[in-house]
Amino acid sequence: MFSSLNLQKMKDSHGFITMLCYAVLIILTQNRALADFYSEAHEINSESEEWEMVQRKGMQFTVNGQPFYVNGFNTYWMMILAADNSTRGKVTQVFQQASAVGMTVGRTWAFNDGQWRALQKSPSVYDEEVFKALDFVVSEARKYKIRLILSLVNNWDAYGGKAQYVKWGNASGLNLTSDDDFFTNPTLRNFYQSHVRTVLNRVNTFTNITYKNDPTIFAWELMNEPRCPSDPSGDKLQSWIQEMAVFVKSLDAKHLVEIGLEGFYGPSAPARTRFNPNPYAAQVGTDFIRNNQALGIDFATVHVYPDSWISPAVSKAFLEFTSSWMQAHVEDAEMYLGMPVLFTEFGVSAHDPGFNTSFRDKMLNTVYKMTLNSTRKGGAGAGSLVWQVFPQGAEFMDDGYAVYLTRAHTASKIISLQSKRLAIFNSLCGWRCKWGCKKKNHTALDALLLHDEF
């Protein structure tokens, strides 16, 4: 008599063997319809995959015991546009188009503090219509099988950020003189924790699922690009990270938590500061290795902006920096952190002197190949999220980095190929394959993953 567990094991084994046979067949026949196979494999994997929480096991993400390597995107403004019925359809288009090229994770803001269309109008006072807009974003993501990283506050003034919290503190009678008081003042810490509590305990009005129970949410991000330049030692920011990571986990032990760091090295690893893009990066109060060792942090994040950090003029140095920057962080995630590292923002702006779309394509390829080099070895490089995916008709929100998938044809093909590569890897390489198929099937995977259609 077969138990349901035995039956599932048989299904899993059969699926794995079937996928492997297809892979071997392609390599033997040099099948030029490789892209079709990739697509079919992705569909097979998607159909069998249950919608469960993403988990972390060692240096990899997993879903249902299978690896979950990420090809994703940023679109920060989705809640804001969803709050207006005339622009809500743009959110659906983002998910439709991202899903069409195989992207599986999106990153967006779960904050807008005291600004136009504010989610949080004042401490603990919310606009229900804007909250329903965030509900819509989460429900649409679920519909298109895209998971979300939700960021909870901004370091920068856009959408309120820590500066707005300081304004609220002063309005309540405090005498605060620095935006960095956000990290140390008990009242402001309480304001932030109240916002976290409200978001995590929110019941989605479209799905009736509480956010903290929704597997659509990939992870909580404590802050977008936190910096505390008033304290280059990093102690203030470290204390805030330690407190807030544990606080989030106390409310929601199911979801992953990350900080939102750009990846700058600080005082705890002076030998690594040579990888920073400039000397100032070591003085902004962040410390990649130390910060990510805080209790409650599940994976590391890194951003990649050579045009902002090195020089605005496009050059080959951008690609060289990107490769060394990514490699250094993968090594540190493996050697010191023992956790995945996700490159949660990267891009190049159309406003940069010398920009052209072919250079953007080179940037995409550089990031994707660096990620893939780690993936194929079972390393800590867990994926990347391009900044940022836009639908046509949202040009008024474009910061120069927008990738319009419906008209950037080569970029769309590059993104799609990366998605297909990762889908194949995720399908072929389960625990029985020991995360990277280092011994068995290594040659087959190399041919699949390193095949280049362009």
Q: What is the pLDDT confidence band of residue 445, given thresholds at 50, 70 and 90?
A: low
- Give CA 133 to chain center in angstroms: 21
Catalytic residue among 221, 225, 262, 334: 225
pLDDT of residue 42: 43
Range scoring the smallest mean pLDDT among 29-33, 34-38, 323-327, 349-353: 29-33
**Residue of higher predicted confidence among 99 and 427:** 99
Q: Could you tell me which of 111, 143, 147, 146 has the C-alpha nearest to residue 130?
A: 111
Rounded distance between C-alpha atoms, residue 332 and residue 343, angstroms:
14
Q: Can you give the pLDDT at residue 450?
A: 57
225 carries an active-site annotation = yes
Catalytic residue among 140, 221, 258, 345: 345
Which of the pair, 20 or 219, is modelled with greater confidence?
Answer: 219
- Confidence band (pLDDT; 50, 70, 90) for 179? very high
Supply φ then ψ for residue 297, to 5 degrees.
-85, 125
DSSP-assigned states of every residue in 281-301 = GGGSS--HHHHHTSTT---EE
Q: Is 399 helix (H, G, I), strand (E, B) or coil?
A: coil
The pLDDT, as a whole number, for residue 12 is 44
Is the pLDDT assigned to residue 278 strictly greater than 90? yes
Average pLDDT, the chain: 88
Q: Which of 14-23, 127-136, 342-351, 389-398 has the lowest mean pLDDT?
A: 14-23
pLDDT, tens only, 69-106: 999 999 999 999 999 999 999 999 999 999 999 999 99
Query: Does residue 6 have a pLDDT over 50?
Result: no
Query: How many Å apart are CA 341 and CA 45, to the nearest integer?
Result: 24
Is the pLDDT confidence value at 25 over 70? no
Residue 113: Cβ-neighbour burial (10 angstroms; 0-12, 13-18, 19+): buried
pLDDT band for position 5 (50/70/90)? very low
Pairing verdict, β 55-57 and 60-63: antiparallel
Site of tokens 């080179």: 362
Q: What is the pLDDT of residue 54?
A: 98
**Rounded distance, CA 149 to CA 388, Å?**
14
Residue 451 — very low, low, confident or very high, per pLDDT cuts 50/70/90? low
Least confident of 35-49, 198-212, 344-358: 35-49
Mean pLDDT computed over 313-317: 95
Confidence grade of residue 65 (pLDDT, cut at 50, 70, 90): confident
The enclosing H or E element of 73 equals strand 70-74
Question: Confidence band (pLDDT; 50, 70, 90) for 51?
Answer: confident
The more confident residue out of 387 and 1 is 387
Percent pLDDT > 70 in the chain is: 83
447 pLDDT more than 70: no
